[in-house]
Chains A and B, each alone.
Chain A
Amino acid sequence: MSKPNVNLDATELEVDTQVEGADTTASEVKSKDKPKKLRISYERKKGLYGYGFISLWIIGTIYFFLIPIAKSIFYSFHKTSLESGKLNLTFVGLNNFNEALFKSPTYIPALSASLTEVWQRVVIIVIFSLFIAVLLNQKFRGRVVARAIFFLPVIIATGPVIGIINGDMVNQGVQGAEQFNTLFETDLVGKLMEFIGIYNISQQLTETIQTITSDIFNLVWNSGVQILIFLAALQTIPTAAREAAEVEGATAWEYFWKITFPYVSPMILANIIYTVIDCFTDPNNEVMRMVVSMKDQWNFGYMSAIAWIYFAIVGVALAVVILIVSKLVHYEVD
């Protein structure tokens, strides 16, 4: 009889098949030798290995993530003070939330400013980065250099260095980021819009356009990863689709809407999520600055409360956006 190699410690499957197999003598010997608990199915055993692989993460997540989250929620119902290295907690119920939402003169304006910023930025950055990605995906000389430059902000922008560079430039007053703003803000854009004939059609439109142009610096500096993700998605468009479009004589415009857009649409969702998270955890937005300043005053209770309100709003908004956008997304393979 040709036995499969019986490698007991490695494979439980073989033990199982032998136990249930026709070779009764062998199975009897086996079941006498082996204690019963070894007869778990291969599937279950594999599942246990799965737990083994993620066990480090489970321990870490309980200690570094779940307990801190629970504590942070717990703090938000307390008044905290620091006395001789120990944290004193007094239960105050919903007072912190009440304080933030109805009494504080600064929180609601900061909250609405931050939220407005988040959604404006998401829309602008996603459109902008798709546009740039389509440009960078074309074949032209210097493409590699251009790509490297567009990704450069990811290497630097996350650090405090850019703060110094920007801060200094603003300090100096003549040069720097401010220059972009004045360059675009004052007349050029106004003149241009007047020229095209869309100036003063509506105050809202004018303001929106001016927000975008005056914010061009932040826009470009914050879309590195998004551009890269779109670029990667553009690479997945099969050559067959492109050739078919060429044969049919599609214009660039049609090509974009009928071919490019459906193919990258899953990544639009991914980019929206990435951008929302990026904007809302940005230490420079107003609510985050408030949170950090509360931390510096050791006012954890209030800090947790304002952070959780903010987080809850963004979380709900994100969930709604994901629900809506994922309905519109086109998937090539399901």
Chain B
Amino acid sequence: MSLFSNKGLSEAEIAHKRYKIKHRVTSIAGPIARFFVLFGMCFVIMYPLMYMVSTAFSPQAEMSDPSRIWIPKKIIFSNLVDAWHAMSYPKTFWTTLYLNLGSSLIQVLACALTGYGFARFKFKGQGFLFGIVIMMIIVPPQILSIPVFMQFFNFPLGSLINTPFAMYLPALFANGLRAGLFILIFRQFFKGLPKELEDAAYLDGCGPFKTFVRVMAPNAGSSFLTVFLFSIVWYWNDSYVSVIFVNNLAPMSVMVQNLSMHMAQQIYGKTDIPGTELIVWMEAGALLSILPILIMYVFLQKYFTEGIERSGIVG
């Protein structure tokens, strides 16, 4: 019986057959269409990265060669070496590391405490205070940076500008980069934990703080890790706050912003070089600057992508 002849079939059988044909067509065409859409989008995402890697290993002379498309005719490492020196990479990396890790760590702890306070206790003015947390998410740092700068500059114990404390202090008081979002995540997570945990801890004679340290925090492991990783990434990538508060310490993001200047100085010995002359070195520098984060992402990828699902923002 051929698929396309309807001879001698009842209405119902024809309908069923139509359904089957339709089903077969969609079950073949669907995955193909899906593949093309996803592949295309992935290509759009990967394009600049592939471009960056490809350029970083090319000689400058090849950049104007139209016959070279992706793979350099001659793979060289000297761009990376030059960029390494121009960025004084080891020192920059170390500065970024202690600024980032320090701030992220302190910030995660402070935000966890705050989120826990909002999630598990009832007190006067809670709604109002939580409204302020939401405000913290919405108000951009551009509005706040100047007054905070003045406060840091005229700090009673001496200017905090260009010291690590300019980053550590806000983090310690749960007001670092995107702290509002982190408090929200922790609040949602701790709200989801069962009340019985708390009661059991209470019967065993734990005070609220001990309950938090011994019972609640160990359960929040994956939340802590997710927030910590996001915090690191956002501190690493932040250029606005770093430039204002710790410009002279020159963490990675500040270095990247002034990359063309550093590169021109390193390679040509003067600063007024058009960008087109510097492409290969700029790309090499960009590659170096995101390499640590990329490596971290490759290894901890599931904590980023699954973290949001588990952190309890949803549901």
Enumerate chain A interface residues (CB-CB to B < 8 A): 5, 7, 9-11, 43, 46-54, 56-61, 63-69, 71-72, 75, 87, 132, 135-136, 138, 140, 146-156, 158-162, 164-169, 171-172, 174-177, 180, 216-217, 220-221, 225, 228-229, 231-233, 235-236, 249, 252, 267, 270, 277, 280-281, 283, 288, 291-292, 295, 300, 303-304, 307-308, 311, 315, 318
Contacts and interface: CB of A to CB of B under 8 A. Distances in A.
Contacts of A48: 123
A136 B38 contact: yes
A72 B143 contact: yes
A220 B283 CA distance: 21
B124 A47 contact: yes
B315 A165 contact: no
A164 B256 contact: yes
Contact of B44 (A54, A58, A220, A291): A220
Nearest to B306: A232
A176 B48 contact: yes
A177 B305 contact: no
Contacts, number: 269
A171 B202 contact: no
Contacts of B264: none
Chain A contact surface mostly: helix
Interface stretch (B85-93, B205-213, B265-273): B205-213
A205 B173 CA distance: 50
Contacts of A307: 140, 142-143
A165 B147 contact: no
A48 B315 CA distance: 29
A50 B122 contact: yes
A158 B237 contact: yes
Interface residues of B, number: 95
Interface in B13-47: 19, 26, 30-31, 34, 37-38, 41-42, 44-47
A65 B88 CA distance: 35
Name the residue among B42, B238, B257 with the largest chain A CB count within 10 angstroms.
Answer: B42
Contacts of B120: 50
B227 to A, nearest CB: 14
B309 A231 contact: yes
Given A53-B121, A148-B305, A164 B51 contact: no
B142 A283 contact: yes
A10 B205 contact: yes
Given A155-B233, A161-B290, A57 B45 contact: no
B147 A71 contact: yes
A168 B279 contact: yes
Contacts of B294: 155-156
A233 B256 CA distance: 36
B51 A216 contact: no
B148 interface: yes
A180 B41 CA distance: 12
A47 B121 contact: yes
B286 A161 contact: yes
B48 A166 contact: yes
B301 interface: yes
Given A46-B208, A53-B113, A54-B129, A140 B34 contact: yes
Contact of B142 (A64, A228, A291): A291
A169 B276 CA distance: 9
Interface string B189-219: 0000000000000100111110010000000
